[in-house]
């Protein structure tokens, strides 16, 4: 009888311990994906370092205060002062950029993907193959940094600058303002996205400097590669 009682108590302890572990993960900002994989949802103290990619979706309940730019694009208010300073300094040096794309809602991201798929289909690809090709350059809705409001696609004002001028300046200087080139040419296997010299992500000046000088991508910097 005592032996059965000890077994019962032991089983109860195991259940309590398991529950405590699950509570600790979820309360600490972690969540379980549908595949059972644990993924970070948000670094509450440093939201600018929130990782979003194919394996880490936009946090549930993510909300962001937005600032509307002169061309109608929107960005997180958090990044606006540094973005404006960077653009002012570029223009002072005779280089003229503009934000081609900033914040996107989930619905907008879905439309961007569907448009890219349709474009490939018009070239003769099957829908399944068109989707595969589209996902090489367009993130699955829910896994796009644009939904955070912390990412910007920066292009050149073609009347006054070239794309090469803008991309070269950004590659060398953007980190000073808290931005990193999110999808470097030599990190495609880690990021899962082809090289995009126009796509910059705000991570804050301290982290941007460390990432720039180490040559890492965001996944490597956060230990998530």
Q: Which residues are catalytic?
A: 196
Strands 151-156 and 97-101: antiparallel
Structure tokens at 213: 């000088």
In the three-class reduction of DSSP (H, G, I as helix; E, B as strand; rest coil), residue 142 is classed as coil
C-alpha span between 80 and 85 (Å, rounded): 9
Question: In the structure encoding, which two tokens stand for residue 153, read together?
Answer: 């696609």
Distance CA 189, CA 219 (A): 11
User: Would you say 191 and 217 are in contact if contact means Cβ atoms under 8 Å apart?
Assistant: yes
């Amino acid at each position: 009888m005592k032996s059965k009682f000890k077994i019962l108590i032991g089983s109860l302890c195991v259940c309590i311990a398991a529950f405590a572990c699950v509570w600790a993960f979820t309360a600490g900002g972690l969540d379980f994906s549908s595949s059972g994989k644990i993924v970070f949802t948000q670094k509450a103290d440093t939201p600018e370092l929130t990782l979003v990619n194919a394996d880490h979706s936009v946090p549930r309940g993510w909300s962001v205060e937005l600032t509307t730019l002169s061309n109608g694009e929107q960005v997180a208010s958090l990044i606006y002062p540094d973005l404006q300073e960077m653009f002012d300094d570029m223009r002072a040096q005779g280089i003229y950029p503009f934000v081609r794309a900033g914040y996107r809602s989930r619905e907008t991201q879905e439309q961007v993907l569907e448009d890219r798929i349709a474009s490939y289909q018009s070239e003769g690809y099957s829908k399944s193959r068109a989707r595969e090709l589209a996902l090489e350059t367009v993130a699955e809705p829910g896994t796009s940094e644009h939904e955070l409001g912390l990412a910007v696609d920066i292009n050149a004002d073609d009347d006054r600058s070239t794309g090469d001028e803008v991309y070269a300046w950004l590659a060398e200087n953007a980190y000073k303002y808290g931005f990193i080139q999110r999808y470097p040419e030599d990190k495609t296997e880690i990021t899962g996205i082809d090289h995009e010299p126009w796509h910059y992500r705000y991570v804050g000046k301290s982290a941007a400097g460390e990432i720039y000088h180490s040559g890492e991508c965001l996944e490597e910097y956060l230990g998530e590669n």
